[in-house]
Structure 1
Amino acid sequence: MMAAAILALYAVVAVVALPRLLTRGEWAERAPRLAIAVWLAGCISVVASVLFSALAAAIPANMVGHGLAEFFKACADMLSDRATFDSPSARAALLGAALIAARITYCGTAILVRARRERRQHAGMLNILGRHDGELDAVVLDHDEAAAYCLPGRKGRAVITTAALQSLAPEQVAAVLAHEQAHLRGRHHLVLAAAEAFPRAFPHLPLFTRARREIARLVELLADDVAARRHSRIHIAAALVRLATGRAPAFTLGAGGETALTRVKRMLNPAAPLGCRERVAGLSAVVLLLAGPAAVAAIPGLNSFLAHHCHNISIF
Structure 2
Amino acid sequence: MTVALILACYTVVAATVLPRLLAKAGWADRAPRLAICMWLAASLSAVGSAVLAGLSAAIPGDVVGHGLARLFEVCKMLLGDDSGIPVATAGFRLAVLTSGLITVRVAFSICRVLFTARRERTRHADMLSILGRSDSELGAVVLEYGEPLVYCLPGREAKAVITTAALKALSPEHVAAVLAHERAHLRGRHHLVLALAEGLARAFPGVLLVATARTEVARLVELRADDVAAGRHSRLHLAAALVSLATGKVPAFTLGAAGENALTRVRRMLNPAAPLHRRERLVGLSAVALFLTGPAVLAAVPGVSALVAHHCHSLLLLTGHA
Bin the TM-score by the shorter chain: over 0.9
* Structure 1 position 62, deviation (Å): 1.5
1:64–1:70 Cα contact (<8 Å) kept: no
Residues in 1 aligned to 2:135 and 2:158: alpha-carbon distance in whole angstroms? 15
Residue 72 in structure 1 maps to residue 57 in structure 2: no
Residue 43 in structure 1 maps to residue 53 in structure 2: no
Aligned-pair identity in percent equals 60
Residues in 1 aligned to 2:65 and 2:184: alpha-carbon distance in whole angstroms? 49
Helix, strand or coil at the partner of 1:158: strand
* 1:24 partner letter: K
Runs ≥4 residues deviating over 6 A: none
Helix, strand or coil at the partner of 2:17: helix
**Aligned residue for 1:279?**
281
1:265-294 per-residue CA deviation (whole Å, 9 max, x = no partner) reads 000000000001110000000100000000
**Equivalent residue for 2:107, pick from 105, 109, 113:** 105
Residues in 2 aligned to 1:99 and 1:196: alpha-carbon distance in whole angstroms? 19
* Structure 1 position 65, deviation (Å): 2.4
- Cα–Cα, structure 1 residues 262 and 83, in superposed 2: closer, same or farther, change >3 Å? farther
**Aligned residue for 1:162?**
164
- Cα–Cα, structure 1 residues 83 and 109, in superposed 2: closer, same or farther, change >3 Å? farther
* Structure 1 position 83, deviation (Å): 5.0
Residues in 1 aligned to 2:45 and 2:73: alpha-carbon distance in whole angstroms? 26
* Structure 1 position 70, deviation (Å): 1.8
* 1:124 partner letter: D
**Aligned residue for 2:176?**
174
- Cα–Cα, structure 1 residues 80 and 129, in superposed 2: closer, same or farther, change >3 Å? same
Structure 1 unaligned regions, length at least 5: none
TM alignment of 1:1-316, pairs within 5 A: 1-67=1-67, 69-84=68-83, 85=85, 86-311=88-313
- Cα–Cα, structure 1 residues 54 and 231, in superposed 2: closer, same or farther, change >3 Å? same
Residues in 2 aligned to 1:180 and 1:43: alpha-carbon distance in whole angstroms? 27
Residues in 1 aligned to 2:33 and 2:95: alpha-carbon distance in whole angstroms? 36
* Structure 1 position 72, deviation (Å): 2.9
Residues in 2 aligned to 1:256 and 1:7: alpha-carbon distance in whole angstroms? 41
Structure 2 unaligned regions, length at least 5: 316-322
- Cα–Cα, structure 1 residues 245 and 305, in superposed 2: closer, same or farther, change >3 Å? same
RMSD over aligned Cα, in angstroms? 1.2
Residues in 1 aligned to 2:74 and 2:41: alpha-carbon distance in whole angstroms? 28
1:77–1:83 Cα contact (<8 Å) kept: no
Helix, strand or coil at the partner of 1:311: helix
* Structure 1 position 60, deviation (Å): 1.2
* 2:73 partner letter: A
Q: What TM-score results when the alignment is normalised by the length of structure 1? A: 0.97
Residues in 2 aligned to 1:302 and 1:289: alpha-carbon distance in whole angstroms? 20
* 1:19 partner letter: P
- Cα–Cα, structure 1 residues 65 and 175, in superposed 2: closer, same or farther, change >3 Å? same
